[in-house]
């Protein structure tokens, strides 16, 4: 009797599954919506006037368990100002071949310079393309922003930026020309 019941029980499972609605997703044609707090591609944010929020502290790189983030900080000068603080992230790279999208770098960032977007399509055909640079990660400029480097908002200091008192670029703010010392110690223009 038990030899007869085993195949019937198996066919019962098959017949139940035959009449259920299919759960096929038409992924490339129909984009899937993600949850609002989904951990996707990283983004380096800017202040409302266009200065970068990253101060080059390297805490995100220290917090990364997969060692996927590389940051090199540099000092701001009055001629070249990329962030309101003393330093900025001159080199910023995230290796998405190693990144596990855990979000620990976001928690470690003291200035909220690094956040995660909902973009999840990070696949590529080569490993070199999976290393995102600062230019790829930096948020785009809005209408009232001026590209870096430029001077801080007149009449403000670094603390005003972090308190949210700077709401846009000052009228007449222009992008500074970045310079570096040449072989003979003379300044030469560098395209940034």
Structural domain contains residue 152: yes
Structural domain contains residue 6: no
Query: What's the CATH code of the domain at 128?
Result: 3.30.70.3270
The per-residue pLDDT for range 97-129, each reduced to its tens digit, is 999 999 999 999 999 999 999 998 888 999 999
Assign 74 a pLDDT band (cuts: 50, 70, 90).
very high
Tell me the two tokens of residue 58: 């390297």
Structural domain contains residue 155: yes
Structural domain contains residue 85: yes
Provide the pLDDT for residue 27: 83
Judge whether residue 188 has pLDDT over 70.
Answer: no
Tell me the two tokens of residue 70: 């590389």
- b/e string for 65-82 if b means 16 or more Cβ within 10 A? eeebbebebeebeeebbb
Structural domain contains residue 11: no
Judge whether residue 69 has pLDDT over 60.
Answer: yes
Structural domain contains residue 1: no
Least confident of 50-64, 69-83, 110-124, 142-156: 142-156
Containing structural domain, residue 91? 42-165
Judge whether residue 192 has pLDDT over 60.
Answer: no
What is the mean pLDDT of the segment spanning 73-80? 90
Strand-pair partners of 42:
116
Q: What whole-number percentage of the chain has pLDDT above 70?
A: 90
Structural domain contains residue 33: no
Residue among 60, 69, 62 nearest 94 (CA):
69
Structural domain contains residue 189: no
What does pTM read for this prediction? Answer: 0.76
When divided into structural domains, the chain yields a total of 1
């Amino acid at each position: 009797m038990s030899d007869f019941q085993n195949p019937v029980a198996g066919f019962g499972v098959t017949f139940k599954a035959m009449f259920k609605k299919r759960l096929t997703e038409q992924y490339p044609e129909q984009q899937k919506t993600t949850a609002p707090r989904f951990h996707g591609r990283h983004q380096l944010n800017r202040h409302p006037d266009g200065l970068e929020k990253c101060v080059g502290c390297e805490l995100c790189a220290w917090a990364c368990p997969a060692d996927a983030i590389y940051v090199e900080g540099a000092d701001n000068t009055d001629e070249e100002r990329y962030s309101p603080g003393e330093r900025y992230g001159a080199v910023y790279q995230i290796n998405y071949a190693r990144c596990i999208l855990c979000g620990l770098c976001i928690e470690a960032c003291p200035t909220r310079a690094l956040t995660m977007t909902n973009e999840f399509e990070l696949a590529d055909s080569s490993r070199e393309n999976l290393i995102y640079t600062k230019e790829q990660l930096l948020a785009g400029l809005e209408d009232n922003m001026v590209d870096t480097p430029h001077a801080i908002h007149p009449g403000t200091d670094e603390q005003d930026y972090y308190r949210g008192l700077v709401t846009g670029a000052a009228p007449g703010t222009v992008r500074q020309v970045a310079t570096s010392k040449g072989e003979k110690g003379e300044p030469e223009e560098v395209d940034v």
